[in-house]
Structure 1
């Protein structure tokens, strides 16, 4: 059985929400999406029906709730730093992203930060009411580590104000019959631990993460049964420690001449290794929590789907398999089989850490479900030669990511970002890939959504959402792909 958390509200973009127009536009956008997937909609407001949108897609593609198995969930999602704001309130400590976005604003394209975000900290009741109004089943949220443990280590003190905030949010969700899925780590490492020992570059973080996770289970586990230890460990490791594009911005000079620290081709593997070991320790604690009823815990991965640049070239075809090993196998293979994929061990060599027998034993079976964050697919072309003195994760993967194939055709229509393509078939293929290669695991679609480019001269929502047909097409297409995959 597959369960889905379909992204309805905008995610992964920090925006202002200071005007009533903003709320009205979101309301209209949500109504159109819900009409396409036949969710029950009820509200006291009555905006005009945009009936022309109903003709945008063939009715044969529309899949309502009745088309899906019992227990299938439709919901929405957030992450603490991108959503909460209030970064100096409630005894909250500083996170790695606070430090990065405020100290190095030039490293972020629009100089944005999460100091206010969408102010969920103060307005969560309003947002949860909106979820209830549009009949969402579930809400995925993340706990901000420095909001509950301001200085990173549990022995240095727990913030009861932070605990109260998340208790209040969880209680409000349950009062509105919305199931919470709690992510323990969505990249906001306490800056104190970054300063003290380098965060996930050090094995010291494993015990601190275990203690933090244990606190979450103790305080929230009586009402939360769905848990996610790590969100997109691939992004955290590669973007943070190999390309330097995200916090903490570490990479080699040969990747980015402006880099002040880091070793591409090395640090990302160390960070991911420690993340996996931290996950395993947290799961050991979780499995001993008798007060968590029917508990399920896993990791949210973010696989792309890959098609060969030249289907007639065996190297490109093999490159697709290797690319999947490096994309999702890197972090899921150890939780299924206790070790990294053979392709990674061969390509990375002694730069890839190894697991002890005891560590492998803890990792195997440590995921009750596999979280899938799917957005796009690409073509890949096998790299024939690389410079061994300048390793990166991408050169280790051994392929170039291509927006077009050998015939110059895109894989699908391009979305709002450089590497975003509306290709629902890719999601279906990812699900089939997981079934074939990992013994048909339980799947949660923990993220999916469409990003659009905002006109820099106006607010992101200062347009007519009733003509946002590309987003509607994206969401409906992916729901249809999931339905096909589970038949």
Structure 2
């Protein structure tokens, strides 16, 4: 596909272009900003993950991950083919170039690179990731790499129940070592875990994500194994230790400064110059009312959702309220572990989508058999009494909270976007409005001192999603087409225009080709929406 053209659209008699007042409204929002308002070292990108985009689930030596197994255990869709990124990565990188992406966030499939979880490297898997990274860097796109995105090798789950075992710390560190050694000369941004807090909660408490373990699920999921009372805490504990171990290895082995002697004298040189962090999912929480109970409950929700994982990485231990409410069900760190954990992140990755409202639910602490949600003792709702609030200002408040509570770490917004039905129009006005609103809120926070370093939309393509019927992509993927052709949505054009420096309050006309996503309408003649 050729570069996205933002000039006046050529006259096309085969299609009927219409003027859409809703697009006019979106492009005339009161947020007056452009790419040049952000620092030069601020990075804008988009993201996917291995299982959700690659496909080729059983090709070239790859073995199953826990996400493969989880998807195949139910009646829904799976990622066996996904977007076929394994074979179409060059085409997708070209779309990134056309869009103007400065960075691309993706994950490495552990079970593609090291199919047995440890031991021999899969040469074809290694070549694939080298090819992707070379394709990106060759076109000036920064690779931001996540080591695991809900996809631990199934063989390790079968052998010792994955993150419930301390053995996973050793195997993860060895896997990370391979990645640092093979890719670290070109990859300078490493994230150990995507949404580590949700791996623990959704994977081991609610059973809604891999590996699908629970005993009592709020969602009514009948898990075949698991214990929601203590397994989430144990899994999170081992992931934190795995992160600290990998971070320590990276800094001691790959970022060590060494001396080089040359004719001009002694030169100090670092082997690699990257950074390493972790990623968490974060709402911004607002008290449902001004009652002291709801205010206290809101802070408790922050401590459980974010502090549970971030506190140990900054201060060396869990928040006091988490330890108090979980009691003996949460493991304790030794002094040595606390030392390694403290200060082990160079940055914090945050996935943020919404503000939610918190009501106190302290009565849940009276339950004899409690899970993490009962220990949190709150009721989370998506509606509150603050109707005048912008839906986007929560991101700025979240950034301010992280700055002041966790010693001002550099922050990357790793995911942000909006789900729309997979069969909706290519004119994804609501997604444009969300992206514009959150980027504007982020800019306000940056001007107020937030240490935010980058923004990645989720997702670049309409990747496989665990919630059926919902897609987040800026590019539609026609899954009914054997070639899985990609088509830009309005959001792709909007983001591209923003990245190429247009001031986002200057549009006076938006012309769109308003078609529905059906196979008959998606032909090679499709041009797509145009912003002029």
Please indicate, yes or no, whether the TM-score normalized by the shorter chain is above 0.5.
yes
Question: Partners of 1:79 and 1:348 in 2: how far apart?
Answer: 32
Which residue in 2 is equivalent to 1:304?
Answer: 283
Aligned to 1:336, which of 305, 311, 314? 314
Question: Partners of 1:257 and 1:174 in 2: how far apart?
Answer: 43
Does structure 1 residue 472 correspond to structure 2 residue 432?
yes
* Contact kept in structure 1, 2:143 and 2:189, CA below 8 Å: yes
Question: Partners of 1:50 and 1:183 in 2: how far apart?
Answer: 41
Does structure 1 residue 453 correspond to structure 2 residue 421?
yes
1:449 alignment partner, SS class: coil
1:445 alignment partner, SS class: strand
Aligned to 2:106, which of 141, 160, 167? 141
Which residue in 2 is equivalent to 1:430?
Answer: 398
Which residue in 1 is equivalent to 2:192?
Answer: 229
2:197 alignment partner, SS class: helix
Question: Partners of 1:74 and 1:327 in 2: how far apart?
Answer: 26
How far off its partner does 1:245 sit?
1.2
How far off its partner does 1:43 sit?
12
* Contact kept in structure 1, 2:191 and 2:277, CA below 8 Å: yes
How far off its partner does 1:390 sit?
2.2
Question: Partners of 1:85 and 1:340 in 2: how far apart?
Answer: 38
Aligned to 2:204, which of 235, 238, 241? 241
Deviations 1:9-35 (A, max 9, x none): xxxxxxxxxxxxxx99xx9xxx7xxxx
Aligned to 1:81, which of 41, 51, 65? 51
Does structure 1 residue 123 correspond to structure 2 residue 83?
no
Q: Which runs of 5+ in 1 are unaligned?
A: 1-22, 32-39, 413-421, 455-459
State how 1:250-329 maps to structure 2 within 5 Å. 250-253=213-216, 256=220, 258-287=222-251, 288-290=253-255, 293-311=272-290, 313-329=291-307
Q: Normalising to structure 2: TM-score of the pair?
A: 0.76
2:420 alignment partner, SS class: coil
Question: Partners of 1:411 and 1:251 in 2: how far apart?
Answer: 38
Deviations 1:12-61 (A, max 9, x none): xxxxxxxxxxx99xx9xxx7xxxxxxxx9699999879685244344530
Question: How many residue pairs were aligned?
Answer: 425
- CA gap of 1:61–1:453, structure 2 versus 1, over 3 A, is same
- CA gap of 1:294–1:309, structure 2 versus 1, over 3 A, is same
Deviations 1:238-272 (A, max 9, x none): 11110111122111147547322111121000000
Which residue in 2 is equivalent to 1:36?
Answer: none
Question: Partners of 1:278 and 1:348 in 2: how far apart?
Answer: 22
* Contact kept in structure 1, 2:64 and 2:154, CA below 8 Å: yes
How far off its partner does 1:135 sit?
0.8
Which residue in 2 is equivalent to 1:69?
Answer: 39
Question: Partners of 2:387 and 2:82 in 1: how far apart?
Answer: 34
2:146 alignment partner, SS class: strand
Worse-superposed segment, 224-233 or 41-50: 41-50
* Contact kept in structure 1, 2:190 and 2:276, CA below 8 Å: yes
2:421 alignment partner, SS class: coil
Does structure 1 residue 486 correspond to structure 2 residue 450?
no
Aligned to 1:162, which of 101, 109, 125? 125
Which residue in 2 is equivalent to 1:362?
Answer: 340
Question: Partners of 1:92 and 1:41 in 2: how far apart?
Answer: 41
* Contact kept in structure 2, 1:411 and 1:423, CA below 8 Å: no
- CA gap of 1:363–1:54, structure 2 versus 1, over 3 A, is same
* Contact kept in structure 2, 1:379 and 1:411, CA below 8 Å: no
Deviations 1:262-315 (A, max 9, x none): 11121000000000000001011111204753211101111111111112x101
- CA gap of 1:395–1:91, structure 2 versus 1, over 3 A, is same
Q: Normalising to structure 1: TM-score of the pair?
A: 0.83
2:46 alignment partner, SS class: strand
Which residue in 1 is equivalent to 2:260?
Answer: none
**Higher RCO, Cα 8 Å, sep 6+:** 2
Question: Partners of 1:185 and 1:43 in 2: how far apart?
Answer: 43
Question: Partners of 1:236 and 1:46 in 2: how far apart?
Answer: 50
How far off its partner does 1:384 sit?
3.0
* Contact kept in structure 2, 1:96 and 1:247, CA below 8 Å: yes
1:215 alignment partner, SS class: helix
Greater CA radius of gyration, 1 or 2?
2
How far off its partner does 1:90 sit?
1.5
- CA gap of 1:54–1:71, structure 2 versus 1, over 3 A, is farther
Which residue in 2 is equivalent to 1:444?
Answer: 412
* Contact kept in structure 2, 1:308 and 1:380, CA below 8 Å: yes
Which residue in 1 is equivalent to 2:158?
Answer: 195
Deviations 1:42-86 (A, max 9, x none): 999998796852443445304211111121111110100001000
Question: Partners of 1:327 and 1:438 in 2: how far apart?
Answer: 14
2:30 alignment partner, SS class: helix
